[in-house]
Chains A and B, each alone.
Chain A
Amino acid sequence: MALSACSSVGTLFDGGGANAHLAQVEPLMVQHDFEGALREGQEVLALSPKSPPGDEALFDMALVFAHYANPKKDYRRSIGLFSRVVKEFPRSPRVEEAKIWIGVLESIEKAKQVDADIEERKKGLVK
């Protein structure tokens, strides 16, 4: 759903270089070229840091870090990018979606922390 949203936005505002770069992000992600996708996203941010399609670029980059196949998957960085969408682009249509992602990823991180704490306690008990 997010990926399809990304492509539709790129089609609507295809008038500058930023949109051209944004249009490359999704195909690269589908090809599992995550480095390339991030690079294209950075190009978009460099061209539109405070305006659309900068929000789309941040959203797509957040998805790259949350992607199940990304070997450099990083939920913390993903949460950070989704948070930037919410803070830096409060009127973006991606804000609500970003909030949902933040909630899900934070739950996952907290659960991971719970597991880590439990394992730590278990080790302490074994000693």
Chain B
Amino acid sequence: MGYLLLLILSMSASFYAIFQLGRIRDVIHSIILVDTSIVDIHKNLTDALLSETRYEKKFVIMNDPALYDGFVGANREFEDLLGQAVARADSPEVKAVLNGIEDLHYEYRALFEEEAGLLRAGQRYSAGWYAEVKDRFINGLFEDLAQVRSLSQLNIVKKITSLNRAGASATNAGMIITAAALVAGIVISILITRSITVPLARMRKKTAEIGSGVYEADLELTSPPEIGALAQAFNFMSTKLKEVDTMKSDFYALMSHELRTPLTSIKEGTNLFLEGHGGPVTEKQKRLLTIIAEESNRLIDLVNSLMDLSKLEAGMVPYHFIEADLPPLVARAIVEVVPLAEAKQIRITKDIGEVPRIHLDPERILQVLRNLIGNALKFTPSGGSVSITVGRREGGVGMSVTDTGPGIPKEHQAAIFDKFRQATLVGAVKIAGTGLGLAIVKHIVQDHGGTVWVESEARQGSTFTVVLPVRS
């Protein structure tokens, strides 16, 4: 539509310019072929008439046939020129005057022929009367010729004035159409650009949402048609991804449930053997049974984490929100990990500031704290320290867990909150883990309307920060 409008504007400007140029060309053609031509013919007519008069007067004086022949020749030339002028004249006024000249000239010629006849016959006649009447005709002819020239010059002036007007009008119209085309071009370009960039921006945002696990097929774009078709394909892809994700979560939930029961049986059976309920156990058997028990515990933890995450993703986790203080939950989480810290000779410090009560599910937030502090202890080498800070933050209450571990490379920091992604630690050996803890943390924090992020420098440790909103 925009291109059509631009095309129409451009074509209008071109047609108008062609029309005006054609008009100007016609007027110039008319000036050259008609008016200036008549002015030239006027000069030749005047010369011919003067020549005619000269021959006529000399013939009357000398009665010489050669002079009469000269008169006839000049007369013919005058009539020819007059015929050309009548044929070229395009103005009724000029035509009328030229017709008057034709009549007057005919009378002059007739009078002269009459006088010439008398002269040839040698008859006496009133030469004075003839001279007077002929002079009157000649004067009339010169006056009429002067009028033809004046009218032609006036026509030239009129046509040049109309040319000037047409030129000015064409210039104005050209400027207006050019300005309109320019403005329309800019506006249409902006609209076309926006019609492409706005849908693309929405698609980019939607892509980021899909990247973060939101697969809602709610992208509604209808124009331009190509973008609309792309949006439909995008929504189809979102729907399919959601189905796949749901299937995957369902699969995890089912498998976790199916695995946990036999694993629990294995764990309990192993413990019974270790306690000697199955008979005497040798040292070697005890070591093997201990390994089986630890691995069973790790598998049970993994299955539990998988079940938790699957439920969180499926929105099946029931939250019990209450107005509660965060510091007691932090203290409880610290108490739970003190034995582990002491075993690894890691010092735990805490800095709990004055914070308001917040809207939270204590059990879930406790799960967050356990994961973050547990991770810090896990990755901090022996002799290091872990510090926990609670205080006011912009937009809510913040809690940070800082360790003196190996740190996380910048390029991995964005991915560590994804499930099954463990960060590649700087200078550290691979530490066993489910790779689900931070994904669970992120889900729970987001379900509380909060945010979580990490700040880390290589070999200088990491700081995980959670900010939970305060209800106004």
Q: Interface on A for B, CB 8 Å cutoff?
A: 107, 110-111, 114-115, 117-118, 121-122, 125
Contact residue among B58, B142, B146 (Cβ-Cβ distance under 8 Å from A111): B58
The stretch from B19-27, B46-54, B221-229, B375-383 touching chain A is B46-54
Contact residue among A107, A110, A111, A121 (Cβ-Cβ distance under 8 Å from B50): A121
The yes or no answer to B443 lying at the interface (CB within 8 A) is no
The yes or no answer to B62 lying at the interface (CB within 8 A) is yes
The yes or no answer to B61 lying at the interface (CB within 8 A) is yes
Query: Across the interface, which residues of B come within 8 angstroms of A121, CB to CB?
Result: 50, 142
The yes or no answer to B311 lying at the interface (CB within 8 A) is no
The yes or no answer to B57 lying at the interface (CB within 8 A) is yes
The CA of A121 and the CA of B143, in the complex, are separated in Å by 12
> Could you give 11 example pairs across A and B, Cβ below 8 Å?
A107-B61, A111-B62, A114-B54, A114-B61, A115-B54, A117-B57, A118-B53, A118-B54, A121-B50, A122-B50, A125-B46
Query: Across the interface, which residues of A come within 8 angstroms of B54, CB to CB?
Result: 114-115, 118
* Residue in A closest to B63 when the chains form the complex, CB atoms: A107
Query: Across the interface, which residues of B come within 8 angstroms of A118, CB to CB?
Result: 50, 53-54, 57
Distance in Å from the Cβ of B137 to the closest Cβ of chain A? 14
Contact with A along B121-146 (1 / 0, CB 8 A): 00000000000000000000010001
Main secondary structure of the interface of A (DSSP, over half): helix
The CA of A7 and the CA of B318, in the complex, are separated in Å by 167
Instruction: List 8 tightest A-B contacts by C-beta distance, closest first.
Output: A114-B57, A110-B61, A118-B54, A107-B62, A111-B58, A107-B61, A118-B50, A114-B58
Distance in Å from the Cβ of B235 to the closest Cβ of chain A? 93
Distance in Å from the Cβ of B42 to the closest Cβ of chain A? 10
Is B142 a contact of A125 with CB atoms below 8 Å? yes
Residue from the set B53, B62, B146 with the largest chain A CB neighbour count within 10 Å: B62
Contact with A along B35-47 (1 / 0, CB 8 A): 0000000000010
Query: Across the interface, which residues of B come within 8 angstroms of A107, CB to CB?
Result: 61-62
The CA of A121 and the CA of B54, in the complex, are separated in Å by 11
The CA of A115 and the CA of B67, in the complex, are separated in Å by 13
Distance in Å from the Cβ of B359 to the closest Cβ of chain A? 111
